Amino acid sequence: MTKLTLDDSKEIVSAAEARAEEMGVPMCIAVMDDGANLVAFHRMDGALLASIDIAQNKAYTAVSLEMDTETVWEVSQPGESLYGLGGTNDGRIVTFGGGLPLEVDGTVVGAVGVSGGSAEEDVTVASAAVEAFESG
């Protein structure tokens, strides 16, 4: 497989939603392909309205930079090599956890972005989505 499919995206969303439900935190979940095109989006009942754009922008960040958004935070701090990155791309670059690339054989084929809880909660839910993708 070299392309992320809609079926893959549905499984990713389902795994993320299940983990968010276990945690009791309503989330927004976005899945993008390798061209940063939205393939699937899901807003759980009660998820914050702001999380709609944030989840999509986390997925955009992870796929366009081919790295997780926690790493983006680290490299964009004052004095680091990509300081100021968060102000680029019309504000779409997210510099806190919750966006993870989806890889097949070391190639980024898409990304998942999750928003609705703390950054740590978002990472936990996004990680569950990646695990489902990798095992599927």
Answer yes or no: is 44 within a domain: yes
Number of structural domains, the chain?
A: 1
CATH for 66: 3.30.450.150
What is the span of the domain harbouring residue 24? 6-135
pLDDT, position 136: 79
**SS3 readout for the chain:** CCCCCHHHHHHHHHHHHHHHHHHCCCCEEEEEECCCCEEEEEECCCCCCHHHHHHHHHHHHHHHHCCCHHHHHHHCCCCCCCCCHHHCHHHCCCCCCCEEEEEECCEEEEEEEEECCCHHHHHHHHHHHHHHHHHC
Answer yes or no: is 118 within a domain: yes
**Which is nearest to 26 in space by CA: 37, 36, 18?**
18
**Which is nearest to 46 in space by CA: 22, 27, 21, 29?**
27
Answer yes or no: is 1 within a domain: no
In tens digits, what is the pLDDT along the chain, a chain of 136 residues?
579 999 999 999 999 999 999 999 999 999 999 999 999 999 999 999 999 999 999 999 999 999 999 999 999 999 999 999 999 999 999 999 999 999 999 999 999 999 999 999 999 999 999 999 999 7
pLDDT, position 1: 58
| CB-CB contact of 113 with 56 (8 Å) | yes
| CB-CB contact of 68 with 93 (8 Å) | no
Answer yes or no: is 14 within a domain: yes
Answer yes or no: is 83 within a domain: yes
Answer yes or no: is 100 within a domain: yes
Q: How far apart are CA 80 and CA 17, in angstroms?
A: 35
pLDDT, position 43: 98
